[in-house]
Amino acid sequence: MKGTPDELCRVMGHRFVSLIVPVIITIVSVVWSCTYLSPLYLDGSDSTIHLVFNESGSSSIVDKAGASILNALVIIGVIVLLTFIILALYKCNCGFVLYAWLMFSAASTFFLQAWLWVDLVFSLFQIPCDFVTMGIFILNFGVVGVLSLFYYSHPMLAQFYLIVVSVLIAWLLTAVPEWTTWCLLLGLAVYDIVAVLCPGGPLKMLIDSANARNEPIPGFVYDSANTVAVAVERPSRGAADGNGDASTSPLLRTLRNSTPFKLGLGDFIFYGLLVGRASFSGFVTWTFCLVAILSGMVGTLTILFLYKDSLRALPALPFSIFIGTGFFLLCLWGATVLESYVIKFTLVL
C-alpha cells in the first residue's frame, strides 16, 4: 500500500504533463513569432485583418469598445454557424464532407501559412533561399503533415503537426485588433460553457452523438493516449510480485482504465492567441498570462477527473481565459501605477 500514493501521483502527473507540455510549446512558439516575426509581418501597422467594424478608426473608448464587441459577436456568430453545420453533417453521415473540409484547412495551413512563416524566419536571420527550394521544402512539409493527420503516422509526428497548426493560426490571429481580440476571447469562453454544458449545446450534442456511435469526434483533437500508455504500461512493484490487484487502490485502477485527456485544437489556438496578444505588452505580462493559462488547465483537468462519472466533457477555455484576462488587466494596472510612481520620483529628484 505504500507505493500506491506514489504511483497515483506518477500516473496523474503523466496525464497532466502530456497536455501541459504541448500547450507550453505552442504558447512559447507563438510568443517568439509575435516578438520577432510580427514586426516584419505587420510592417508598422496595428492590424492586417479587416473586420466588419473599424476599431482603430474609433476615437473614444466607448466607440472602440462598441466596435470591438460587435466584431467579436460577428466572429462568434460565424463559429456557431460552422459548429451547427458540422453537427448536421455528422448526424447525416456526411463524414467524407467533414474530412474533406478538415483536409483542405490543414493543407492551406501547411502550404500557405507555413510558407509565410518560414519566409519571415529566413528574412529575420537573412538566410538566402530561392523560390524553387522553398517550394520543394513546403511541398514535402505539407504533404507529410496531411498524411500524418489523415492517414497514418507515428503519434508523436501527428502531435507535432497539430502543434504546428496551432502555432501558425494563433500567430496569424494576433493580427486582429487588440480590443476585438480580448472581446473575442471572453465571448468564446462564455460560448464554450454554453456549447459544452447546456443540453442543447452544439458541442454537447456532437460529443453525445460520437459517444453513441463509439466513434472519435470529427475534428483536430490532441490526444495524450500515446504518452499516457507509455507511462502506465510499466508494471508496479506489487504487480511484479503477483499481487498487484491487492495493492492497487480503486482510484488508481480507475485512473488507469479511464480514457486519456483530450484537448481540442481550438483550445491550443486561443491559449496561444491570449498569451501572444499579451506579449505585445512586455515579458512580465505574457509570463503571468502563461501561468494563468496553465493554472486554469490544471483546474479544469482536475475537475474533469474528480467528476468524470457525471461530466463526459468539460470546456477547457473558461477558467484559463478568465484567469488569463484578469492577470493581463492586473499587470497593466500594476505597470500604470508603477510608471506614475517612477515619474513622481524622477520629478522629485
pLDDT of 12-44, one tens digit each?
677 778 889 999 999 999 999 999 998 888 765
- Name the active-site residue from 63, 192, 245, 309: 192
pLDDT band of 125, cuts 50, 70, 90: very high
Cα–Cα distance for residue pair 119/128, rounded to 1 Å:
10
Residue 240's pLDDT is 34
Cα–Cα distance for residue pair 190/321, rounded to 1 Å:
10
Given the C-alpha cell 450534442, which residue does it identify? 205
- Show the cell assigned to 14: 503523466
- Show the cell assigned to 43: 510592417
Nearest to 159 by CA among 240, 223, 254, 88: 223
pLDDT band of 2, cuts 50, 70, 90: very low
| Terminal C-alpha separation, the chain | 66
Q: With 60 as the cut, is the pLDDT of residue 61 above it? A: yes
State the SS3 of 265-321: HHHHHHHHHHHHHHHCCCHHHHHHHHHHHHHHHHHHHHHHHHCCCCCCCCCCHHHHH
- Name the active-site residue from 130, 208, 267, 309: 267
Residue 217's pLDDT is 76
Quote the crossing angle between the two packed helices 131-150 and 155-173, to the nearest 10°.
120
Q: Which class for 96: exposed (0-12), middle (13-18), buried (19 or more C-beta within 10 A)?
A: exposed
What percent of the chain stands above pLDDT 70? 79
| Contacts by residues 31-37 (CB-CB < 8 Å, ≥ 24 positions apart) | 31/275, 31/276, 31/279, 31/286, 33/117, 33/167, 33/171, 33/276, 34/171, 34/174, 34/276, 34/277, 34/279, 34/280, 35/279, 36/124, 37/117, 37/120, 37/121, 37/124, 37/171
DSSP state of 130: -
pTM confidence score: 0.85
- Looking at every residue in the chain, the average pLDDT score rounds to 82
Contact 98, 86 (CB under 8 A): yes
Q: What is the mean pLDDT of residues 132-154?
A: 92
Residue 238's pLDDT is 39
**Which has the minimum average pLDDT: 123-132, 201-210, 290-299, 318-327?**
201-210
Q: Is there a catalytic annotation at residue 267?
A: yes
Q: Which helix (H) or strand (E) holds 187?
A: helix 178-197
Residue 246's pLDDT is 40
- Show the cell assigned to 234: 510499466
Between these two residues, 101 and 230, which has the higher pLDDT value?
101
Mapped onto helix, strand or coil, the DSSP state of residue 59 is coil
Q: With 50 as the cut, is the pLDDT of residue 57 above it? A: yes
pLDDT band of 63, cuts 50, 70, 90: confident
Residue 8's pLDDT is 60
Q: What is the mean pLDDT of residues 296-304?
A: 88
Q: With 90 as the cut, is the pLDDT of residue 46 above it? A: no
Q: With 50 as the cut, is the pLDDT of residue 302 above it? A: yes
What is the per-residue pLDDT across 220-275, written as a single tens digit (0 to 9) for each? Answer: 888 765 543 333 333 333 333 344 444 444 544 444 545 567 888 899 999 999 99
The partner residues of 263 in beta bridges, in order of sequence, read: 222
What is the per-residue pLDDT across 182-203, written as a single tens digit (0 to 9) for each? Answer: 999 999 999 999 998 888 888 8
Residue 237's pLDDT is 38
